Amino acid sequence: MIEVIQISRGGSGGVTGAKILAEAAIMYEGLYAQAIPKYGSERRGAMVQAYVRFDNKPIRIHSPVYEANHALILDLSLLDRIDINTVDKEGVIIINSKEIS
């Protein structure tokens, strides 16, 4: 199973992006997938997390992702909100930023 953590700000499309990623895995790759948003009653602009899972077999767990294979951070100011050590050392962390690495 591949697990992805996505962190964004409310209203920036992070939850929608997670849903699209899961749907694309189902439609184009024939995988089982799920997208799980996690947010409270905060206003637009608050931190929002979404979790995406992909697998070749049905996914039976529906909990948040605590140790991800990959991470997407859609707002650089939220970088300190994720413990990088929870992302697989072989994984990819994508950060939306104007800075070039």
Indicate the domain borders of the chain: 2-95
Q: Is the pLDDT of residue 8 over 80?
A: yes
For the chain, give the percent of residues with pLDDT over 90: 78
- CA distance linking residue 64 with residue 67, whole number of Å: 9
Task: Report the pLDDT value the prediction gives residue 42, as an integer from 0 to 100.
Answer: 73
Q: Is 78 helix (H, G, I), strand (E, B) or coil?
A: helix
Q: Is 80 helix (H, G, I), strand (E, B) or coil?
A: helix
Range list of H helices, 10-76: 14-29
CATH number for the domain formed by residue range(s) 2-95? 3.40.920.10
Which value, in Å, is the radius of gyration of the alpha carbons in the chain?
13
Q: What are the tens digits of pLDDT across the range 24-72? A: 999 999 999 999 999 877 778 899 999 999 999 999 999 999 999 999 9
Residue with the two structure tokens 């953590």: 5
Residue with the two structure tokens 């997407």: 72
Contact criterion met (CB below 8 Å) for 52 and 6:
yes
Across the chain, mean pLDDT equals 92
Q: What's this model's pTM, rounded to 2 decimal places?
A: 0.88
